[in-house]
Structure 1
């Protein structure tokens, strides 16, 4: 189990893994710092764009927390301050480490940053980048039917492992499932607002139903087949 270290720099609270990051500062959570060091490798679409970085800890993914839905139209990235331990970045950092320690396929959490602004705060999370992985949402449209079936059944087996561990993934969708195409190895990411509870079949069913809705948004015509293959893999797993 990792022993995180906490520091404060320029009004930024930082939680990090000193085994992977010997030293860290507030600049790690600014795009200008990484651009200055020519360390920006690219990005991935999502609610807020994730940025791929070349860091002293290896390639990493930096995600700034953004609000979704109606609140996000008015308050882009500010959250109500309820204490550091209750902040989204702190909670996700610890939860991801718990899952990592259980041997589940998640990226290694590297650092979390929280900056308080009056009654609110902004937050960031940095995790290790999974090599040669892409979101299932990007893989499925260009894959053959057999590749789609194999990928979805592989994803289902992984999802079941998380459910058996008691995870309620509140935003299970094809962008939060990564796949390494060569090996069909799957990973789960983005555990913001997720909870680790006792295994519960009703929670698992809700997660899978949410995933089906996401399939419909991705491709309405293929969604039924995708969900059928997924459930076959889930039941076999």
Structure 2
């Protein structure tokens, strides 16, 4: 696995991959600082905002961790204090690093922060930005249905992830990217983990299918066609 550097200050714990990021400081996890440096390249306004920033060693995505569900409406970005090694940021960082080292199509993590405050902590993650990429939700909304070959590539990528025993807790059409070479990338591995083979693999695929149907119900311009699931399965089963 790639090297991992770690440092601790009275306010926070930082860790980083020195091949991807210089030693991080507090301001590296503050969007306002990147804006002041005129190094913000854009942002993604999904359920939670992510910032695209120009780092010293390449473009990165800055993401702050938020809670979901009803608890998230109250605590927002506050998590009950736990060891750094068990925090969501550290677990996602290490999983991404392992997956990238295994050759899986995921972005490499660059740096992360775990900031303590009383009985809670907040966390942030910097990962490399996949150049010239868009998620398949946007592509299918703007351009219509994907070609069968693309769906076969998506199926093969998901199967390879499963073959390595990686469970994706939120596999959906927003977390699958295509770059300008039509290579498939998988993103957003918060709350994901490695597991032994089991029924979760089929459930993971079914979750993706539900997300496609859900988006079609909400938006008639979304280019999903039910018959394309056969193309996904062909790629999944042949990989």
Give the structure-2-normalised TM-score: 0.92
Instruction: Write out per-residue CA displacement over residues 12-36 of structure 1, whole angstroms, 9 at most, x where no aligned residue.
Output: 2111112222332111011121011
The answer for the alignment partner of 1:224 in structure 2 is 226
Partners of 1:205 and 1:23 in 2: how far apart? 41
Moved over 6 A (4+): none
Q: Distance in 1 between matches of 2:74 and 2:148?
A: 40
C-alpha change, 1:88 and 1:94, in structure 2 (3 Å) is same
Cα deviation, residue 144, structure 1: 4.4
Aligned length: 234
Query: Contact between 1:140 and 1:148, CA under 8 Å: does it hold in 2?
Result: no
Q: 1:190: Cα distance to partner? A: 1.0
CA distance in structure 1 between the partners assigned to 2:197 and 2:226 by the alignment: 26
Give 3-state SS (helix, strand or coil) of 1:155's partner.
helix
Q: Which residue of 1 aligns with 2:172?
A: 173
Q: Where do 1:134-213 residues align within 5 Å?
A: 134-145=134-145, 147-180=146-179, 182-200=180-198, 202-213=199-210
Gap change, CA 1:49 and 1:223, over 3 Å in 2: farther
Give the superposition deviation at 1:3. Answer: 1.3
Give the conservation status (yes or no) of the 8 Å contact 2:7–2:15: yes
Shift of 1:9: 4.1
Match of 1:124 in 2: 124
1:59-98 alignment to 2 at 5 Å?
Answer: 59-98=59-98
Partner-residue secondary structure (3-state), 2:125: strand
For residues 193-217 of structure 1, what are the alpha-carbon distances to aligned partners after superposition, in whole Å with 9 as ceiling and x for unaligned? 11112233x1110101111111112
Q: Distance in 2 between matches of 1:123 and 1:23?
A: 17
Matched position secondary structure for 2:206? helix
Query: What residue ranges of structure 2 are gaps of 5+ in the alignment?
Result: none
1:104 is paired with a residue of what secondary structure?
coil
User: Are 2:16 and 2:23, in contact at CA under 8 Å, matched by a contact in 1?
Assistant: no
Shift of 1:85: 0.8
Residue range with higher mean Cα deviation, 106-115 or 19-28: 19-28
Distance 1:105 1:218, change over 3 A: same
In 1, the alpha carbon distance for the partners of 2:147 and 2:51 equals 27
Once the two structures are superposed, what CA deviation does each residue of 1:19-54 show, in whole Å capped at 9, x if it has no partner? 222332111011121011100110113331111000
- 3-state SS of the aligned residue for 2:188? coil
Structure 1 vs Structure 2 CA RMSD? 1.6
Q: Check whether the contact 2:79–2:121 (CA below 8 A) recurs between aligned residues.
A: yes
Preserved CA contact (<8 Å) 1:135 1:174: yes
Q: Matched residues in 2 for 1:46 and 1:84: separation?
A: 27
Task: Give the TM-score normalised by the residue count of structure 1.
Answer: 0.93
